[in-house]
């Protein structure tokens, strides 16, 4: 896995999946906060 093209492909793949997970979590947190504020 020392090849830079291979490394770039893996970093982009798992990086983007990680960012998607973080975006789902932040959207869920924002919704929960909004619901708490309304109550």
Partner 1 sequence: MRRIALPSLAGLAVLAGLGLAIASPPDAIQGEYVRILYIHVPAAWLAFLAFGVTAFGSIAWLVRKTERWDRLAAASAEIGVLFTGLALLTGMIWGKPVWGTYWDWLDARMSSTALMFFVYLGYLALRRATPDPVQRARRSAVLGVIAVVQVPLVYFSVSIWRTLHQGMTVTSDGIAMDGGMVAALFVNVAAFTLLYLALLVQRLRLARAEAAAAPEFEAIAGSTVSEPRLRSGS
Residues that bind partner 1 (CB under 8 A): 1-3, 5-6, 8-10, 12-14, 16-17, 20-21, 24-25, 27-28, 31-32, 34-35
SS3 call for 16: helix
Q: How far is the CB of 24 from partner 1 (least distance, A)?
A: 5
DSSP 27: H
DSSP 24: H
Q: How far is the CB of 19 from partner 1 (least distance, A)?
A: 10
Q: How far is the CB of 36 from partner 1 (least distance, A)?
A: 11
């Amino acid at each position: 896995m020392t090849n830079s093209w291979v490394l770039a492909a893996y970093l982009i793949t798992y990086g983007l999946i990680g960012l998607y997970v973080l975006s789902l979590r932040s959207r869920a947190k924002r919704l929960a906060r909004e619901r708490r504020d309304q109550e």
